[in-house]
Amino acid sequence: MTSRARATCTVAVVATACVFAGHYAWDAQSAMTSFVLLLTAIGTPWAVITLIGFVRCGGVYDADALQVFNRRARGGIHWYRAGWNIPATVAWALGAAVGLPAVSLPSYEGPLLRLTGGVDCSFLLSGAVGGAVYLPLSTREGARGTARPATAAPQTPGTPSRHIEPRA
């Protein structure tokens, strides 16, 4: 036999586990749908910006310069401003800011949904805004979507940096 206190604690723990399991088991699909829709609205502008950069450089990147973070180094053709591509970051933030109010989740409907007749076009809007903002911002930045090499940042000794000119 068990004591009243131990039985009460056991029943409370089992009941709490059942409530949580029931809540999440029936809402798991709704939670996953919400997560995927939010991730898509936030990630689409970055995918569009990356695709624009890829097209501008003709698909040719300096593979050695892409490894500066792995070597704990600084600089290279893809370094931009202290490692930040400011035009891309601004364009991504604005695209995500437009996409989030246009999302239709099971538990939330954004205020921009009435403009689309209730259809979730968040990924289209966020991608279009991200790309439309990035295009003019990035043309001022450098030659055809590539950053200028950082001059103040040292390279890791023994790892020469190759500079590949963008295609004309």
The answer to whether residue 14 is domain-embedded is no
The answer to whether residue 152 is domain-embedded is no
The answer to whether residue 19 is domain-embedded is no
Q: Of 90, 61, 89, 56, nearest to 77 (Cα)?
A: 61
Q: Quick check: 121 pLDDT over 50?
A: yes
Structural domain that includes position 42:
30-145
Question: pLDDT digit string (tens) for 125-147?
Answer: 999 999 999 999 988 554 444 44
Q: Quick check: 158 pLDDT over 60?
A: no
The answer to whether residue 38 is domain-embedded is yes
The total of structural domains in the chain comes to: 1
The answer to whether residue 162 is domain-embedded is no
What pLDDT was estimated at residue 26? 67
Question: pLDDT digit string (tens) for 69-112?
Answer: 778 777 777 777 777 888 999 999 999 999 999 998 888 888 98
The answer to whether residue 55 is domain-embedded is yes
The answer to whether residue 18 is domain-embedded is no
State in Å, rounded, how far the first CA of the chain is from the last one. 85
